Structure 1
Amino acid sequence: MSSPYQQRFEHLLDSLNAALQPGEQFTLGYSAEQSRFIRFNHAKVRQAGEVAQASALLRLVREGRQAEQQLTLCDDPHLDSQHLHQALEQLRQTLPLLPLDPYLQLDESAWRSHSQQDQALPELAEVLTLIEREAGDLDLVGIYAAGPICRGFASSFGAFGWHQANSFNIDWSLFHDNGQAVKANYAGQTWSAKAFAERLRQAREQLAFLGRPAVTLKPGNYRAYLAPAAMEEIAGMLAWGGFSAQALATGNSPLQRLYNGDVRLSPLVSFDEQVAGSLSPAFSNEGSPRQDLRLVSEGRAIERLTCARSAAEFTLAANGADGHESPCALSLAPGSLAMADVLERLGTGLYISNLWYLNYSDLPAARMTGLTRFATFWVEDGQIQGPVSTMRFDDSLYSLLGAQLEELTREREMILSTSTYGQRQTGSSHLPGALVKALTLTL
Structure 2
Amino acid sequence: MREVQSPQSMFAALADDMRAALAPGEAFTLWYSAESSEFIRFNRAKVRQAGRVTQATACLRLIRDERHAKSWIALSGDPAADRARLAEGLRQLREALAQLQPDPYLTLEREPWQRSFADEAAPPDTGHVLARIDEAARGLDLVGIYAAGPLYRGFASSFGAFGWHAAQAFHFDWSLFHANGQAVKADYAGNRWDDDEFAGRFAAARAQLEHLGKPARTLAPGDYRAYLAPAALDEVLGMLSWGGFSARSLAQKESPLQRLYDGAAQLSGMVDMDERASGALAPAFGPEGIPRSDAALVRAGLPVARLVYPRSAREYGLEVNCADAGEAPHALALGAGTLAQADALAALGTGLYIGNLWYLNWSDAPAGRMTGMTRFATFWVEDGRIQAPLGTMRFDDSIYGFLGDHLEALTRERQLRVSSGTYGERQTDSSLLPGALTGRLRLTL
Partner of 2:43: 41
Which residue does 1:222 correspond to in 2? 224
Q: Give the TM-score, by structure 2 length.
A: 0.97
Amino-acid identity (%):
59
Preserved CA contact (<8 Å) 1:105 1:312:
no
The 2-side partners of 1:131 and 1:338 are apart by 27
Letter in 2 for 1:259: Y
Which amino acid is the alignment partner of residue 241 of structure 2?
Answer: A
Question: 1:306–1:316: 8 Å Cα contact kept in structure 2?
Answer: yes
- CA RMSD of the aligned region, Å? 1.3
Aligned twin of 1:325: 327
Q: Is the 8 A contact 1:9 1:152 kept in 2?
A: yes
Structure 2 residue 73 is the aligned partner of structure 1 residue 74: no
Q: Report if aligned partners of 2:123, 2:150 keep a CA contact under 8 Å in 1.
A: no
- More displaced, 144-153 or 60-69? 60-69
Matches within 5 A, 1:161-240: 161-240=163-242
- Any conservation in 2 of the 1:104–1:312 contact (CA below 8 Å)? no
Aligned counterpart in structure 2 of residue 311 of structure 1, from 310, 313, 331: 313
The correspondence for 2:284, drawn from 279, 282, 285, is: 282
Residue type of the partner of 2:253? G
Secondary structure at the counterpart of residue 278 of structure 1: coil
Shift of 1:102: 2.7
Label 1:184 to 1:288 Cα distance change in 2 as closer, same or farther (>3 A).
Answer: same
Instruction: Please give the secondary structure, in 2, of the residue aligned with 1:291.
Output: coil
Tell me if structure 2 keeps the 8 A contact 1:42–1:140: yes
Q: Which runs of 4+ in 1 moved over 6 A?
A: none
The CA deviation at 1:316 is 2.6
Letter matched to residue 285 of structure 1 = P
Q: Which residue of 2 aligns with 1:14?
A: 16
- Equivalent positions of 1:382-397 (< 5 A) are 382-397=384-399
| 1:441 Cα deviation from its structure 2 partner | 0.3
Query: Does structure 2 retain, via aligned residues, the 8 Å contact 1:311–1:318?
Result: yes
Alpha-carbon contact 1:28-1:59 (below 8 Å) kept: yes
Partner residue of 1:360? 362
The answer on whether the counterparts of 2:152 and 2:166 sit within 8 Å (CA) in structure 1 is yes
Q: Compute the displacement of 1:386 (Å).
A: 0.9
- Secondary structure in 1 aligned to 2:414? strand
Give 2:341's aligned residue: 339
Shift of 1:197: 1.4
Contact 1:31–1:54, Cα closer than 8 Å, also in 2: yes
Counterpart position of 1:270: 272
* Aligned-pair CA distance for 1:342: 0.6
Shift of 1:3: 6.3
Secondary structure in 2 aligned to 1:418? coil
2:109 corresponding residue in structure 1:
107
1:349 partnered with 2:359:
no
Q: Residue type of the partner of 2:24?
A: P
**Local SS of the residue matching 1:179:** coil
Amino acid at match of 1:125: G
* Distance apart, 1:5 and its partner CA: 0.7
Distance 1:275 1:23 in 2: 33
SS in 1 for 2:338: coil
> In structure 2, what is the Cα distance between the partners aligned to 1:263 and 1:183?
34
Contact 2:409 2:438 in 1 (8 A): yes
**Which amino acid in 1 is paired with 2:225?**
R
AA at the equivalent of 1:10? A
Is the Cα contact below 8 Å between 1:103 and 1:313 reproduced in 2? no
**1:317 & 1:101 partners in 2: Cα distance?**
23
369-378 or 96-105, larger mean C-alpha shift: 96-105
Give the equivalent residue in structure 2 for 1:424.
Answer: 426
**Which stretch shows the higher mean deviation, 270-279 or 120-129?**
120-129
Instruction: Specify every segment of 5 or more residues in structure 2 that has no aligned partner in the other structure, as ranges.
Output: none
Cα distance in structure 2, aligned partners of 1:55 and 1:308? 25
In the TM superposition, residue 58 of structure 1 has moved relative to its aligned partner by: 0.8
Of stretches 189-198 and 92-101 in structure 1, the one that deviates more from structure 2 is: 92-101
Partner residue in 1 for 2:121: 119
For residues 231 and 204 of structure 1, what CA distance do their matches in structure 2 show? 21
- Kindly tell me the number of residue pairs found equivalent between the two proteins: 442
Task: Pick one of 130, 136, 151 that aligns with 1:149.
Answer: 151
Report the alpha carbon displacement of residue 59 of structure 1 after superposing the two structures with TM. Answer: 1.2
Q: Which moved more, 1:31-40 or 1:101-110?
A: 101-110
- CA deviations over 1:266-307 (Å, ceiling 9, x no partner): 111111001211111111221122111001111111111112
Alpha-carbon displacement from aligned partner over 1:244-270 (angstroms, at most 9, x marks no partner): 112112222111111111111111111
Contact 1:295 1:301 (8 Å CA) reproduced = yes
Q: Secondary structure at the match of 1:53?
A: strand
Contact 1:395 1:439 in 2 (8 A): yes
CA distances 1:397-436 after superposition (whole Å, capped 9, x unpaired): 1111111111111110001000001000111000000000
- Contact 2:37/2:149 (8 A) holds in 1: yes
Deviates further, 162-171 or 3-12: 3-12
Q: Give the whole-Å Cα distance in 1 for the aligned partners of 2:67 and 2:402.
A: 46
Secondary structure of 1:411's match? coil
Q: In structure 1, the residue corresponding to 2:411 is in which secondary structure? A: strand
SS of equivalent to 1:267: coil
CA distance in 2, matches of 1:368, 1:208: 31
